[in-house]
Each structure stands twice: as structure tokens, then as C-alpha cells.
Amino acid sequence: MGATAVYPGSFDPPTLGHLSLVERGLAIFDRLIVAVAVNPEKGGLFTPGERVELLSESLLDRFPGGRLEIDRFEGLTVDYARRRGAAAILRGLRATSDFEFEFRMAMMNRHLDDGIHSVFLMADHQWFYISSSTVKEAASLGADISDLVPGPVARRLRGKFPAKG
């Protein structure tokens, strides 16, 4: 069997930046597990269950063939990755802002388990400046964000924040 990677994140909500990373991850790894990291202390706009649903609705049709799985986990990412038999943790890098944080996380994860490798990919350039938080903020102010997120996410955001004007 080939290599499996875990792509962990908040995904609150999933954006087209996340989808771009999944597409690129699947070009490298045989199996990719997109996993919602559940942090009971960190609320969010969507519940972990809703995020899993949104990821499934946004991804499973687009990437058929059984190489992609959507899951959720609590606790350390390296523990989850080990449990799932993954060789790598996939993370994304956007224009400069992510580097410091991702570097520290990767070093901590390596300290915890030297056998699980952090792999960083960049999304397609049009998503360099897109984050879940800016999408949420714009949507909450009534902006049309339908070209930044998958269809199911746009629909759910419109339900939460009716468009203005």
C-alpha cells in the first residue's frame, strides 16, 4: 500500500483554498484523510459535525475513487496520524503569514514523533489570501463569498447571514 497523509485543520468553514490543497495532496499521496481537529475549548461558527458534513458534501463527489476520507479527531495530530497509519501531516502555506506558526507546529510534531513527516503545499495562487476567518467576516457583513467557497458552504453561510441589499 502507498503512503497516506492526514490533512488536519479547523475547516470552519472549508474554502476553495482547502480544496486546492486536497487536490494537490491527492496528486502526491495515495490516500488523504481530511480531519477536522476538534478542540472543545474553541467554539466556531460551525460545529465539528457540520464541518465534517460540509467537507463531505464539497469533496467526495469532486474526488471520487475512495482515496479521500473525511474524519474528525480530538487530541494530538501526531497521535491521530499514527493511529491512522499515516506517514505525513499535510498543511498549507499562504503568502508569508503562515510560516512562523506552521514552522513551530512542525517542529513540535517532529519532537513528538520523528517518524511522521510534515509536508507543506501551496494552494493555487488565487487562494493565497483566503482564510476561513476572512470569509466568515465578509459573509457576516453581507458580502457575496460564493466564488471563494464550495457551493454547499456558500449555501450554509447564506442561511446564517442573509445577504444585504
Among this protein's residues, is 125 annotated catalytic?
no
Neighbours of 139 (CB within 10 A): 24
Segment near ligand ADP (CB under 6 A); pick from 52-60, 63-71, 88-96, 148-156: 88-96
Question: Across the beta sheet with 117-122, what order do the strands follow?
Answer: 68-74, 31-38, 4-9, 88-93, 117-122
> Is cis: bond before 162, omega within 30 of 0?
no
Q: Is residue 92 a contact residue for ligand ADP (CB under 6 A)? A: yes
User: Which of 10, 20, 58, 132 is an active site residue?
Assistant: 132
d(CA 92, CA 102): 9
Mapped onto helix, strand or coil, the DSSP state of residue 125 is helix
In the structure grid, which three cell numbers stand for residue 77, read together? 495530530
Q: Is residue 72 a contact residue for ligand ADP (CB under 6 A)? A: no
Closest distance to ligand ADP from the beta carbon of 15 (Å) = 6
Contact 25, 90 (CB under 8 A): yes
Rule CB under 6 A: choose which of 11, 29, 46, 80 binds ligand ADP. Answer: 11
Q: Is residue 80 a contact residue for ligand ADP (CB under 6 A)? A: no
Segment near ligand ADP (CB under 6 A); pick from 23-31, 87-95, 137-145, 156-164: 87-95
User: Which of 42, 111, 125, 164 is an active site residue?
Assistant: 42
> Which CB, 10 or 58, lies closer to ligand ADP?
10
Q: Give the E-state strand segments of the chain in sequence order.
A: 4-9, 31-38, 68-74, 88-93, 117-122
Q: Is residue 51 a contact residue for ligand ADP (CB under 6 A)? A: no
- What's the sign of the alpha-carbon dihedral 124, 128, 133, 135? negative
> Which CB, 31 or 130, lies closer to ligand ADP?
130
Residues lying near ligand ADP in the complex (CB under 6 A) are found at 9-11, 15, 17-18, 21, 37, 91-92, 94, 98, 123, 127, 130-132
| Catalytic positions, written as ranges | 18, 42, 94, 132
